[in-house]
Amino acid sequence: MPKRIINPVVIPLLCLAFLAACASMKGGMVFPVKHPAELEQGKRPTCTECHEARSETLNYARYNHTAFFADTHRQEAYQNEQLCAMCHETSFCNDCHATRVELKPSLKNQTDNFRRMPHRGDYLSRHVIDGRIDPTSCFRCHGNPKSAITCKSCHG
Amino acid sequence: MKEGYRCKRVSWELLIAVVLSLSVVQAVAAAELHVASDTLVRVFERDTTEGEDKTVVPGYEYLQVDYGSLKEKGLSFHIYGWGRLDLASSGYYDDDNAGELLYGYFEYAHPGTNASAKLGRFYVFEGVANEAVDGLALKSDVTPYFTVSAYGGFPVALDSTNGRDSDSIIGGRLSHHLASWYDIGVSYKNTENDGDDAEEMLGVDLSLNLPFNVSLFGFSARNLDTEGWAEHSYELGIPVAGLLLRPYYQKFQYEDYFGTGALARNPFLFEAATGETLEVVGGDITWPVSKAWELGAKVKYLDYDVRSGSSEYYSALATWHGEKLTQIGGEIGYANGTAGNNDYWLGRLFGYYDQIQQILPNGFVTGDLVYADYNEDIFGESDSLFVSLGAGRRFLDDALEIKLSGDYSSDPFFDEDFRGLLVAKYVFDR
C-alpha cells in the first residue's frame, strides 16, 4: 500500500482505535459537557458555595473564581481544560488567547466593566513600563508570529 | 498564488467544509444548534495615509456556530472566527479587510468517559501547549490513575511564515493522579517550520493537596533546543480565617523562555538575546468579606540577573456586589523600580448597574475610569485619563442585546481622543 495512503489514513485510524480502547476502560471523575446547574451569566462562580472544598475526586476550592482568578487561572486551565470547558467555550478564551485578534479584550467587551481584563485604559503608555519590568507577562498572549503582529508596527 | 485568490479559495473550501460537516452531524439524533453573533461598529479619528483627522469606521463580525450534541457527550461541530471591514476606507489599516478563523473542528466525546477526539482547527491549552493546531487531538483516561492526550498537525501560528510545507506540531501530556490528592503531569511539544526545529519544550506540572486545606501548584518548562529551564512557577493556596493567601515564586530564563527559533518575534527576540534571568516573589490575598463585599491585595517583587536594580508592584482592590450583575469597584496600584525606567500610580473606578427597574428593567448602564500618573513625563505628559460610559438593552426574550458606549482618552499619545462603539449581540439556540 503506498506510503502516501498509509500515513494520513492508517495512523489516524490507529489513534482512534487506541482512543476507543482507552475509553472502554474505567477512568476517573467524568466531567459532563456542561455544568449541571445553570450558573448566572457574568457572575464569577464560587464553586464552594455548593461543593465542599475538597471532595474525594476534586479540589473544588481551587476553581473558585476569586477577584484575581483572571490573573492566576493558567495552571488550572493547563491541568484541567475539560473542567473549564463546562462553563467556558473556547471563544471566551479567544478574547485573550488566540492566534490573531485585532481588538484588545476590554475594547471588544467594552461594557463588561465587571470583568477583570488586561490592558484597560491607555495601555500604550503603560506597556512600555510593564514590558521592561516583566516581558514574560506579555509573551503568553503575544508570543507567536501571528499574535505578535500587534507589536510589529513599533517593534519590527 | 495571489493573496486575493488564496482568500477566495480558502473561503470556498471553508464553505464546502461547513456544509459537509453540518450534513454529517445532521445524522446525529437530536442535534442542537447554537449561533452567537457579535457585530461591532467603532468610530474614531486618526491621521491616516488619506489625510489628517480622518474618520475611521471599522465594522467587526464575530460569529460562532456550534451544532450537534451540545449538552450531552457525542458528536458536535464548532466554528468561530472574526472579520473586519474598514467601512469608511480611511486608509488607517494596512488592509481594508482582515479576519481569522480562530477554530473549526469536529469533536467526539465518548459518553460516560473523559475520552474525546477533535479534528480540524482547535486550541490546545495543556502543559507546555498554548497552541492553535490544524490537525487531530485525542484525550482519554487510562484507568482512574492516568490521563493521556496527544495532538498533531500543522501549527496555525506559523501558517503565514514561508507557507505551510514541512510545518508540523506534535505534542501531548501524560498525567498521573490519585483522587484529589495530587496530579502530576509531563508534557511535550515539538514544532517544526519548513522542516527545521522551531521549538521543542518539555514541561512538568504539579498540583498537590497538603494538610489544613493548603495546596501546592507548580509548573516547570525546559527548552530542549537551548537546553535550559525556561520557567519555574510555584505557588501555595492557603485558606486562613476566610482569606485566601497565595504566595508564589517564579523564575524565567529569557533565552530559554522566549527562544530564538522560527516562532520568536520582536520584541521577545531582543529579550532572548539579553541573557537575562528574572525572579519574581509575590503574593496576593483575596477576602470575600460578605456576599456584598470583596477585598483583595497583591504585591510583587521582581529581581534581575543582568539588569541592575529591582522592581515592585503593589495593588489593592475593593468591590461591592449588588443584585444581578450590579457592582461598584475600585483598584489602586503602584509600579516602581529601575527596570521600567519609570514609575506609575494606577487607579480605576468602575460601576455596572444591572436591570434598573424604573428606567431599564431589561438593560444596564456602566462606567469605567482609569487614571495613571507617571513619575517621568512621556512625550511631555505626566498622566493618562480614560473614561468610558455605556448602556445596553436586551430584546427578543434576551436573544438580542444592543450596547452603545463612548470613551474619552487624554494621554501621552492622544490629546483628546473620543471613540464610539455600537454592539449588536445575538444568540440563537434550538
* pLDDT, tens digit, 9 for 90 and up, residues B36-55: 999 999 999 999 888 888 99
Check: CB of residue B103 under 8 Å from CB of residue B80: yes
Q: Is the pLDDT of residue B19 over 60?
A: no
Cα dihedral sign, B44-B48-B52-B55: negative
> Which helix or strand (DSSP H or E) is residue B268 part of?
helix B268-273
- Quick one: what percent of chain B has pLDDT higher than 70? 93
Q: How many domains does chain A have?
A: 2
Q: Which residue of A has its CA nearest to B371?
A: A121
Quick one: pLDDT at residue B331?
97
Mean pLDDT across chain B = 90
Per residue in B369-403, pLDDT (tens digit) is 999 999 999 999 999 999 999 999 999 999 999 99
Cross-chain residue pair B266–A139, CB shorter than 8 Å:
no
Chain B residues within 8 A of A130 when measuring between CB atoms: 335, 340
Handedness of CA B28, B32, B33, B34 (dihedral sign): negative
Q: To 5 degrees, how large is the angle CA B79–CA B80–CA B81?
A: 135
**B123, B158, B231 member nearest A145 (Cβ):** B158
Note whether residue A19 is domain-resident.
Answer: no
Whether A17 is in a domain gets the answer no
pLDDT of B74: 95
**Number of residues assigned to chain B:** 430
Q: Is residue A73 part of a domain?
A: yes
pLDDT at A151: 84
Residue predicted with more confidence, B7 or A35: A35
Residues of B in contact with A18 (CB under 8 A): 138
Q: Is there a contact between B100 and A100 if contact means CB atoms under 8 Å apart?
A: yes
Binary contact (A133, B302; C-beta < 8 A) = yes
The phi and psi torsions of B165 (rounded to 5 degrees) equal -60, 135
Tell me the chain A residues in contact with residue B71 when contact means C-beta distances shorter than 8 Å: 33-34
Distances (CA, A) of B249 to B128, B252, B307: 18, 10, 19
Q: What is the pLDDT of residue A6?
A: 55
Chain A interface includes B308 (CB < 8 A): no
Give the mean pLDDT of B230-256.
96
- Strands B51-56, B327-337: parallel, antiparallel or unpaired by DSSP? unpaired
Q: Give yes or no for B202 touching A (CB within 8 A).
A: no
Do A156 and A105 belong together in one domain? yes
Shortest distance, CA B305 to any CA of chain A (angstroms): 13
Instruction: Say if the Cβ atoms of B157 and A66 lie within 8 Å.
Output: no
Which pLDDT value is given to residue B17? Answer: 53
In this complex, is the C-beta atom of B425 within 8 Å of any C-beta atom belonging to chain A? Answer: no
Query: Chain A closest CA to B10's CA: distance in Å?
Result: 17
The label of the residue with cell 483627522 reads B53
Burial of residue B195 (CB within 10 Å: 0-12, 13-18, 19+) is exposed
Q: Which of A106-110, B30-34, B250-254 has the lowest mean pLDDT?
A: B30-34
pLDDT at B360: 82
Last residue of a domain, one of A88, A116, A143: A88
Q: For A25-50, how does the pLDDT look when each residue is reduced to its tens digit (9 = 90+)?
A: 666 788 898 898 888 878 888 899 89
CB B303 within 8 A of CB B277: no
> Does the structure show a pLDDT above 70 at B11?
no
Does residue A8 surpass a pLDDT of 70?
Answer: no
Name every chain A residue with its beta carbon within 8 A of the beta carbon of B141: 22, 25, 27-28
From the list B71, B152, B144, the residue with the least C-alpha distance to B114 is B144
Contact B215 A143 (CB under 8 A): no
Distance between CA atoms of residues B384 and B106, nearest Å: 46
Q: What pTM did the predictor assign?
A: 0.90
Assess if residue A9 is contained within a domain: no
Q: Is B211 left (phi over 0), alpha (psi -120 to 50) or beta?
A: beta
The H or E element that residue B177 is part of is strand B168-178
Residue of A91, A93, A119 to mutate for B, most B C-beta atoms under 10 A: A91
Name the band, by pLDDT with cuts 50, 70 and 90, for residue B2. very low
Check: complex ipTM more than 0.90: no
- Torsion angle in degrees (nearest 10) through CA of A20, A21, A25, A30: -30
pLDDT at B6: 41
Identify the pLDDT of residue B10.
Answer: 45
Indicate if A103 and A58 belong to the same structural domain.
no
Closest approach of B1 to chain A, Cα-based (Å): 20
All 3 cell numbers of residue B353? 448597574
CB contact under 8 A, B258 and A18: no
Chain A contact present for B154, CB below 8 A: no
Residues A104 and A128 grouped into a single domain: yes
Position A131 in a domain: yes
Mean pLDDT, residues B219-229: 96
CA angle A34, A75, B317 (to 5 degrees): 90
Q: Is the peptide bond before B267 cis (omega within 30 degrees of 0)?
A: yes
pLDDT at B110 over 80: yes
Asked if the C-beta of B112 comes within 8 angstroms of chain A's C-beta atoms, the answer is yes
Domain assignment of residue A109, yes or no:
yes
Percent of chain B with pLDDT over 90: 74
Q: B85: nearest CA in chain A?
A: A102
Nearest CA in chain B to A12: B136
Q: Which domain holds residue A149?
A: 98-156
Domain ranges of chain B: 1-112, 113-236
Neighbours of A142 (CB within 10 A): 20
Say what the pLDDT of residue B388 is: 97
Question: CA-to-CA distance for B3 and A84, rounded, in angstroms?
Answer: 37
A117 and A148 inside one domain: yes
* Three-state DSSP state, B376: strand
| C-alpha dihedral sign at A23, A28, A31, A32 | positive
Q: Which of A24, A46, A69, A78 to mutate to test the interface with B (most CBs of B within 10 A)?
A: A78
Chain B CB contacts of A126 under 8 Å are: 344, 346, 372, 384
Dihedral (Cα; B271, A133, A127, B127), 10-degree rounding: 70
Interchain proximity A56–B180, CB inside 8 Å: yes
Confidence of residue B1 (pLDDT cuts 50, 70, 90): very low
Do A152 and A108 lie in a common domain? yes
Q: What is the DSSP string of B237-261?
A: EEEETTEEEEEEEEEEEHHHHH-SS
What's the confidence (pLDDT) of residue A3? Answer: 52
Check pLDDT > 60 for residue B16: no
DSSP annotation of A6: I
As a whole number of Å, the CA-based R_g of chain A is 21
Rounded Cα–Cα distance for residues B108 and B258 (Å): 35
The pLDDT tens digits of the residues spanning A53-89 come to 888 888 898 999 999 999 999 989 988 888 999 999 9
Selection from B89, B79, B138 nearest residue B114 by Cα: B138
